[in-house]
A and B are shown apart, each in its own frame.
Chain A
Amino acid sequence: MALIDPGRDGPIRVTVPGEGWASVVRNLFPEGVLEVIVGAGERASLPGRRSVQVRRDGNAFRVRPGPGMSAPERGSAAEEAGGPTIPDSPEGVRLDGAGEAVSVLERLIAETLLRDRSHHVGLHAAGALVHGVGVVALGASGAGKSSLALSLSRDGWPLLGDDVVLIDRQGGARPFPRLVKVDVERLAAHGIRPEETIAWVPGWSEAWLDPREGGGWCAGPCHVGLVAILDRIEGRPEAEVRSSEVGGAEALSELLAGALPGGLEGGDRVDALLGLLDGARGLRLSFVSSRDAARFLARECRSRAMAGKEGAGR
């Protein structure tokens, strides 16, 4: 199943220092996106190929973007998350931990894939198709996007993405399929141990899970019926999910703030997001448990789907 068109230049070649690395990195994206090579990395540096190299540097690792893989753009969601930036130089970046190196590698690949989507807006959001209703959930890093995506996936709903959702020119949401990355601390709430996940480096604070073990990925574009602005709060686990309506201008403002660099710009970007909002309901959601938030959204989507059917039947 080719879920991501890897772009005109074919799969991204990733050279890693050993088989252990290869087994983790191969799992980061769906089949066909990456070509993982174990070795010194000379093959990955062929001109005209997009490549990224991880090599040992004493007790640390060095991640170096190769041809066609420029450093992530400033102001990106990755920087917002506080991750290290990767200089556009042959030296790349030196990282002390293998987990950090995997995380940077994954980000670099994701941002390169996003640059291929020049006719889209990349939204820093989670999303899923629930009861046939497209849901896009916005929020700053730590607001609960990935946990919510994991909960929705485990409830059987196909995902649009856990951290990025693509919006086409008409406002339709398209999947950006990659594994769901969740803080190890959050896994316990889902009854999952990090070693049970598909990609995890011992000692690293994040693990990757495969949505295909739940609802998989959304097969194609979908109309968005619900835009949720997430606000995960601390509190008693049994605390209720609270919601309030969000007006069109406020929702548009949140969408624009959550749009990643690159892709459609200016009026095209605004029009795509206005297309997304056309007929969509905006909700601000405060929650403690992402599982409760997922179920709340499922109920909202079910009501919306039923209302749509009744409307169509009249």
Chain B
Amino acid sequence: MSDNGYNNNDENVEEFSEESLREIAKEVVQRRIGLQNHLRVYIFVNILLFIINYLTFPLYRWHMWPLLGWGIGLGYHIFGYITFRRGSFGDDAKAGISYHVFTYLIVCAFLFWIDFLFTGTMTWSFFPIGGWGLALVIHLYVYITNRPKTGDDPRKSYLDREIDKELSKIRKN
């Protein structure tokens, strides 16, 4: 590129310049450091809680509650970082269904664990897991049937894409 950036013709203009890539790399590194710090604090605090629990009242293991509750938050952080790093979500609908599935799995595992801890079997956790599971199946069905097909404009809503198809049919006739 020339001094003022507007002189050269027939150069290979790219969507991402070296400077942009550096900025993106900076964002990736900042997110990774944030996640690493989160992980370190999580481990340190939970070890501390475990020691306090063990020294004060070892009969009731209350340190498991913050470990698991915070673990859900940490799980989201890891999931967010991985999907950002890989560039997994090109459209909002895909991000929506992915987060829904992830939330369902992590929360249901947590509920099942509580249920199993207190009753020794699966008693009440069946209801939220089953009910929410049904809603998740509906969400998956809507996502699969409404997602843009090859050649469709991914920025347009399902309704707009259907209107476009209808218009093109009318024009053909």
Partners in one complex: no
Chain A residues proximal to chain B, CB less than 8 Å: none
Interface residues, chain B, with chain A CB atoms under 8 Å away:
none
